[in-house]
């Protein structure tokens, strides 16, 4: 990292005093300034990518051991794992539910705070505040909040006469899923509200005025003006939300630990379990490659879909 | 339908109701952390008993705070240093491989965290950086690079070229121009990058979970999560809630203080993305 950095003092001043090789010296300087980035990207990004490819084709126990070729054994082992398809199904289900609720609520929040009436700044801050917390911290917070013994919510159905005992929010597969969705929506709604707010503020006032002059109702304006002009921001939110949800880990690792009965195990949790509980880095690497491939494919499809929608 | 419903319901009732829902978990957790809980150091009365449990837990709260501070400071420092020089290079210089390097840097965003962490675990072992806060910071800084480099490139591009050229004519080298003229001009960008890097390093969970095996070296989020998992017999909710407060306070303060920069970073990201 420091090689390029150190070479700068000798080069200093040469640009001005010796104008002949100026373009060449600027190229060298550009390279020197970019060198730390290049080293970082090469060592901590490109090299690991090559390594994970190699690992996915080899026997690779967590601790020392046989490192022979095992192709395509790791890949077939992955799909043979009993939890693989349930984890894929659960991750997809979770992604759909979170995306619909999260983006719907974020749009509502953005519409609520877009006009600069008194208090709008306060509400923006409040809605965003959970976003400043880490996902693991938020999950720990909700773990206490949902606790049947000390949490404030568990007793409510009992008090209302709807249940015989305090409700266990994380006790059944369905309620564990919905409880996690609620946590994620609480944590991220303000983040997506900001993205949509930026989009809303880029719609020129004249467009709204023209629509109002034509006698359009609020609902008509929303459908015919706001939604179409907001499409780039909605597309960005969709992309981020789908990608983030497909890679969900912290919230399930902390809040549900994958339970009850492995009903909330996501694909990334499966990678973690393969590597550090079943101590098989080879299969974990193969699973990682499959996730990467699925995500790349999804992004390509999404970009294509968006571009086609733009053309029509 | 949504718009019509919004039109009918008084605006402040909806906005205020939602604000209560958003604030409730934060307020509840703060209150619960000083409240008595069965089976904890604080069985009756309000006070700091739960925080005292946290102070003495395993390696001790101070150790975990120190770990988190070291990791965050190193990550912020590395991110700022690399992206300042990189952003300058991408905005102002031409060099072979420029576009390829920029695309590769952005491509970090496309690759799932987990896909990289498995080989990084092996790689850091070979570099003798496994189970080390420095190794963890290097990884966290790498994950920050796409946003940071992008942000610094925009910041440099927004500075008029004449400003820098006059400094060069006056006899500054490019390094002098960067330090004396450009650095003050890109300070808002640096604050944004630093804030994002701090928040993500302070809060990161999965990278330390995989890369740090020694509980003495755990950053705070990992330590608090372990606290909960290790006390399976008697769950100490109180100490966990105290831990959440300790984790959250710096983030909330920093965000409230630097809100403007956070939102500006967002704007430039969302505008060009």
Question: Hey, is the C-beta of A297 within 8 angstroms of any chain B C-beta?
Answer: no
Reply yes or no on whether the pLDDT at B241 is more than 80.
yes
For the stretch B27-57, pLDDT in tens is 999 999 998 877 677 777 788 888 988 888 8
Answer yes or no: are the C-beta atoms of A255 and A139 closer than 8 Å: yes
Q: Which of B88, B118, B176 sits opposite A288 (nearest CB)?
A: B118
Q: Residue B273: closest CA among chain A residues belongs to which residue?
A: A236
- Flag whether residue B257 sits within 8 Å of chain A, measured between CB atoms: no
**Cα(A230)–Cα(A197) distance, rounded to whole angstroms?**
9
- Indicate if the pLDDT at residue B140 is higher than 60: yes
Interior angle at CA B136, CA B135 and CA B137, nearest 5:
90
A–B: how many Cβ contacts below 8 A? 297
- How many angstroms separate the CA atoms of A269 and A262, rounded? 11
| pLDDT number for residue A311 | 65
Q: Is A285 on the interface with B (CB under 8 A)?
A: yes
DSSP string across A278-292:
S-BHHHHHHHHHHHH
Asked if A37's CB is within 8 angstroms of B101's CB, the reply is: yes
Looking at per-residue confidence, does B145 or A69 come out higher? B145
DSSP string, B31-84: HHHTS--TTSS--SSSSSHHHHHHHHSTT-HHHHHHHHHHHHHHHHHHHHHHHH
The residue count for chain B: 273
Q: Does B28 sit within 8 Å of A137, measured CB to CB?
A: no
CA distance B19 to A117: 16
pLDDT recorded at residue B250: 95
Q: Which pLDDT value is given to residue B139? A: 97
Mean pLDDT of B223-252: 85
Residue A183 tokens, joined: 């946590």
For residue A194, give the nearest of B13, B12, B248, B259 by alpha carbon: B259
- Chain B residue closest in CA terms to A144: B237
Residues A2 and B39: their CA atoms lie apart, in Å, by 54
Minimal CA separation from B112 to chain A, in Å: 6
Hey, of B92, B102, B112, which one would you mutate to test binding to chain A, going by the most A CBs within 10 A of its CB?
B112
A87 Cα distance to chain centroid: 18
Residues of chain B positioned with their CB less than 8 A from the CB of A123? 15, 18-19
Chain B residues within an 8 Å CB radius of A128: 255
What pLDDT sits at residue B230? 60
Kindly report the nearest CA distance between residue A6 and chain B, in angstroms: 11
| Spatial contact of A11 and B177, defined as CB atoms under 8 Å apart | no
Please count the other Cβ atoms lying within 10 Å of the Cβ belonging to residue A25.
16
pLDDT score of B234? 66
Distance in Å, alpha carbon of B29 to nearest chain A alpha carbon? 7
Amino acid A62: pLDDT: 85
Helical packing angle, B220-230 and B237-272, nearest 10°: 140
Instruction: Assess whether pLDDT exceeds 80 at residue B9.
Output: no
Res. B249 pLDDT band, cuts 50 70 90: very high
Residues 123-162 in B contacting A (C-alpha not used; CB under 8 Å):
123, 138-139, 141-142, 145, 149
| Closest to A34 (Cα-Cα) out of B141, B149, B198 | B149
What per-residue confidence (pLDDT) applies to A2? 39
| Closest CA of chain B from A163, distance in Å | 23
In our burial notation (b when 16+ CB lie closer than 10 A, e otherwise), range A83-102 reads bbeebbebbeebbebbbebb
In sequence order, which residues have a C-beta less than 8 Å from that of residue A139 and are 6 or more positions away? A183, A250, A251, A253, A254, A255
In this predicted structure, what is the pLDDT of residue A22?
62
- Beta-carbon count within 10 A of B30 CB: 17
**CB–CB contact B112 A268 (8 Å):** yes
Nearest-CB residue to A13 (from B15, B171, B240): B171
Q: What is the pLDDT of residues B200-215, one digit of tens each?
A: 999 999 999 999 999 8
pLDDT of the residue at B179 = 86
The answer to whether B101 contacts A41, with C-beta atoms less than 8 Å apart, is yes
Q: Which of A2, A4, A6, A34 to mutate to test the interface with B (most CBs of B within 10 A)?
A: A34
Q: Which residues of B are less than 8 Å from A299 in CB distance?
A: 110
Q: Identify whether the C-beta of residue A150 lies closer than 8 Å to the C-beta of residue B32.
A: yes
Q: Give, in degrees to the nearest 5, the angle at Cα A232 between A226 and A236.
A: 125
pLDDT, averaged across chain B: 89
Tell me whether residues A8 and B240 touch, CB distance under 8 A: no
State the distance between the two ends of chain B, measured CA to CA, in whole angstroms.
31
pTM for the full predicted model: 0.89
Residues of A with CB below 8 A from B2's CB? Answer: 108, 111, 219, 222
Beta strand residue intervals within chain A, DSSP E: none
Residue B135 or residue A3, greater confidence: B135
Minimal-distance CA residue of chain B relative to A251: B205
Q: Is A146 on the interface with B (CB under 8 A)?
A: no
Contact A149 B38 (CB under 8 A): yes
| Three-class DSSP category at B125 | helix
State what percent of residues in chain B have pLDDT above 70: 92
Residues of B in contact with A218 (CB under 8 A): 3-4, 6-7
What tens-digit pLDDT sequence spans chain A (312 residues)? 334 444 444 444 444 544 445 666 889 999 999 999 999 999 999 999 999 999 999 989 888 776 888 878 899 988 888 899 999 999 999 999 999 999 999 999 999 998 877 788 899 999 999 999 999 999 999 999 998 877 888 777 777 777 777 778 888 999 999 999 999 999 999 999 999 998 998 888 898 889 989 888 888 998 988 999 999 899 889 999 999 999 999 999 999 998 898 999 999 999 999 999 989 999 999 999 999 999 999 988 887 877 776 665
Tell me the shortest Cα–Cα distance from A186 to chain B, in angstroms. 7
Please name which of A87, A122, A33 lies closest in space to residue A274, comparing C-alpha atoms.
A87
């Amino acid at each position: 990292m420091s090689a390029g950095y150190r070479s700068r003092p000798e080069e200093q001043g040469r640009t001005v005093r010796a104008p002949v090789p100026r373009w060449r010296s600027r190229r060298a300087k550009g390279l020197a300034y970019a060198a730390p980035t290049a080293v970082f990207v090469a060592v901590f990004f490109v090299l690991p990518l090559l390594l994970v490819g190699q690992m996915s084709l080899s026997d690779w126990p967590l601790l020392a051991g046989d490192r022979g070729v095992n192709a395509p054994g790791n890949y077939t082992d992955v799909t043979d794992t009993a939890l693989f398809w349930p984890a894929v199904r659960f991750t997809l289900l979770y992604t759909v539910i979170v995306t619909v609720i999260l983006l719907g609520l974020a749009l509502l929040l953005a519409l609520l705070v877009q006009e600069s009436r008194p208090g709008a700044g306060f509400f923006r801050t409040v809605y965003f505040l959970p976003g400043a917390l880490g996902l693991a911290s938020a999950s720990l917070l909700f773990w206490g909040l949902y606790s049947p013994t000390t949490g404030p919510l568990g007793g409510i159905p009992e008090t209302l006469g709807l249940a015989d005992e305090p409700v266990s929010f994380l006790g059944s597969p369905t309620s564990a899923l919905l409880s996690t969705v609620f946590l994620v929506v609480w944590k991220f709604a303000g983040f997506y509200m900001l993205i949509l707010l930026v989009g809303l503020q880029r719609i020129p006032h004249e467009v709204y005025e023209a629509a109002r002059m034509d006698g359009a109702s609020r609902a008509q304006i929303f459908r015919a003006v706001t939604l179409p002009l907001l499409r780039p921001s909605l597309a960005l939110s969709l992309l981020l939300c789908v990608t983030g949800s497909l890679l969900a880990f912290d919230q399930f690792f902390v809040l549900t630990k994958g339970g009850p009965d492995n009903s909330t195990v996501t694909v990334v949790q499966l990678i973690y379990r393969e590597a550090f509980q079943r101590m098989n880095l080879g299969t974990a690497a193969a699973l990682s490659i499959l996730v990467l491939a699925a995500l790349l494919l999804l992004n390509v499809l999404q970009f294509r879909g968006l571009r086609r929608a733009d053309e029509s | 339908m949504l718009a019509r419903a919004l039109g009918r319901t008084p605006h402040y009732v909806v906005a205020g109701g939602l604000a209560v829902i958003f604030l409730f978990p934060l307020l509840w957790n703060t209150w619960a952390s000083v409240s008595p809980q069965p089976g904890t150091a604080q069985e009756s009365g309000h006070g700091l008993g739960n925080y005292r449990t946290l102070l003495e837990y395993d390696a001790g709260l101070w150790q975990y705070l120190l770990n988190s501070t070291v990791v965050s400071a190193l990550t912020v420092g590395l991110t700022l240093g690399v992206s300042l020089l990189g952003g300058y290079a991408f905005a102002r210089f031409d060099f072979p491989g420029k576009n390829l390097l920029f695309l590769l840097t952005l491509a970090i965003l496309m690759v799932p965290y987990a896909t990289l962490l498995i080989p990084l675990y092996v790689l850091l072992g070979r570099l003798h950086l496994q189970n080390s806060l420095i190794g963890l910071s290097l990884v966290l800084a790498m994950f920050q690079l796409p946003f940071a480099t992008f942000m610094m490139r925009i910041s440099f591009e927004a500075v008029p070229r004449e400003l820098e050229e006059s400094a060069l004519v006056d006899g500054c080298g490019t390094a002098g121009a960067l330090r004396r003229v450009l650095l003050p001009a890109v300070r808002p960008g640096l604050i944004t990058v630093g804030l994002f890097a701090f928040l993500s390093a302070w809060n990161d969970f999965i990278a330390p979970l995989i890369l740090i095996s020694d509980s003495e070296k755990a950053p705070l989020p990992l330590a608090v999560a372990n606290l909960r998992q290790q006390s399976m017999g008697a769950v100490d909710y109180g100490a966990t809630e105290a831990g959440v407060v300790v984790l959250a306070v710096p983030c909330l303060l920093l965000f409230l203080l630097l809100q403007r920069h956070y939102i500006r970073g967002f704007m430039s990201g969302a505008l060009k993305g």
